[in-house]
Amino acid sequence: MTYQEIRKNEEVLAFLKKGNDNLGVLGYTEHSEAHCTVVAEHAAYILKTFGYSEHEIELAKIAGFMHDIGNAVNRSHHAEYGALLANEILKDTDMDLEDRVTIVSAIGNHDESTGGAKDAISAALLIADKTDVRRNRVRTQEKGKFDIHDRVNYAVTAADLSINMEKKVIELNLQIDEEICTMYEYFEIFLGRMMLCRGAAEMLGAKFKLLANGSKIL
């Protein structure tokens, strides 16, 4: 089972679509196939830069693409539901048991309320997921209907995830329009996620740095 095969898997795509539809009803930002593709590719970028094997990179990409399927069941504990669904889907493939368990564990630990990095795969998934902040994740363009989650995403006019291997630093550099969202509102939503990224970076032997409008925040 490969990443490219998972991206075409009918069950995975159906769960992602239903999960994203459900979250739309609840007023959440986009959690679709597009988000999961970004997460998969960024997780791969992180592990590749840190010198992990192609096999480990492939596992991170699969986990990244599948990580939000649990939203089809319920937003609450969606990571745990997603892990169980992923296990059932992957059991029917030719994937090695150890690889399947690694992916399931990464998915089950990606939510900031109950999770945390347990290995390199889960660390890369966490950082990739929590740093996917961008304007086009906001579903509505009517600013009068924005909640705080919409504002903090829409306010981000540019986001760059980069790695300095010489200093062993993973850096998220954001440009935020403070007329749309104050820095206070941003950190009300994202501080917990950024702290989770810091722990994940430490799992990779690195530090996590957050810059907003040119100033170091974390």
Please give the DSSP secondary-structure letter assigned to residue 29.
P
Residues 156-195 pLDDT 10s: 999 999 999 999 999 999 999 988 888 888 878 788 888 8
| Domain count along the chain | 1
Q: At what angle do helices 120-130 and 54-66 cross, to 10 degrees?
A: 50
pLDDT in tens, 20-29: 999 999 988 9
Place of tokens 């690889």: 99
| Structure confidence at residue 153 (pLDDT) | 87
> In terms of DSSP H, where are the helices of the chain?
3-7, 10-26, 33-49, 54-66, 78-91, 97-108, 120-130, 148-154, 183-203
Does the pTM exceed 0.75?
Answer: yes
SS3 at position 63: helix
Distance, in Å, from the CA atom of 84 to the CA atom of 161, rounded to the nearest integer, reads 30
Find the domain containing 166 and state its range: 3-216
Contacts of 42 (CB under 8 A, 6+ apart): 64, 127, 128, 131, 132, 161
**Domain of 158: which CATH number?**
1.10.3210
CA 86 to chain CA mean position, Å: 16
